[in-house]
Amino acid sequence: FGSRAQGAAAPPRARQSDRQGRGQASKGAMGRVIRGSRKGKSLIFTAKTRLRKGAVKLRPVDFAERSGFIKGLVRKIIHDPGRGAPMCEVVFHDPYRYKLKKERWIAVEGLHTGQFVYCGSKAQLSVGNVMPLGKMPEGTVISMCEEKASDRGRLARASGCNCMVVGHSDDGKKTRIRLPSGSRKTVPSTCRAVVGIAAGGGRMDKPVLKAGNNFHKYRVKRNCW
């Protein structure tokens, strides 16, 4: 009788509780959600955009820029929250209608309010002007450079960054530039750029010293610290 009691099967309720215990143990042993997946799930990781002034872009390419130049006035130099480089607001006369058009792009070192800047293929090579890369001599220091023609500026937009024109192809269709990282890139010669170094350089030279400074830095950017 004793041997039969030892070999008897456990009651159904005991088997069910044993399965639940094993399931909980296996769940606890699984890996954690990776950081990229967590950022996609919650709204606390989205960027803080309420006080931002807007995207930085060069003028859209039009007939005036392709065939000559157009004059603009630097109305303001403004701070954009979460962006290290200052932003300039340039006002142009609309070539086709009686109105003014505002454009915002990264300010370069030496740019000031009240300054006239010229955009186009026949603009002069001076700080603040926007020109195609094919019209610039080798060794020109530029910022806010286009990666593809008419994309309105993609490269060297952070504070203190700059590209340099390294050379032009024999047919004049391609230009070789040196990026802020030091690598070289070949882009079409019709890509435009601002002459000069992006302002706000040396921002990282000052030591952070305490966590509160990083807290305030990333508070206006996004939850990534």
pLDDT of residue 128: 98
pLDDT of residue 150: 96
Residues of the chain under the 70 pLDDT cut: 1-28
Look up tokens 């080798």; give the residue. Answer: 138
Count the Cβ atoms, other than its own, within 10 Å of residue 118.
18
pLDDT of residue 63: 97
> Cβ neighbours of residue 162 under 8 Å, at least 6 residues apart?
141, 142, 143, 156, 180, 196, 197, 198
Regarding pTM above 0.75, the answer is: yes
pLDDT of residue 4: 52
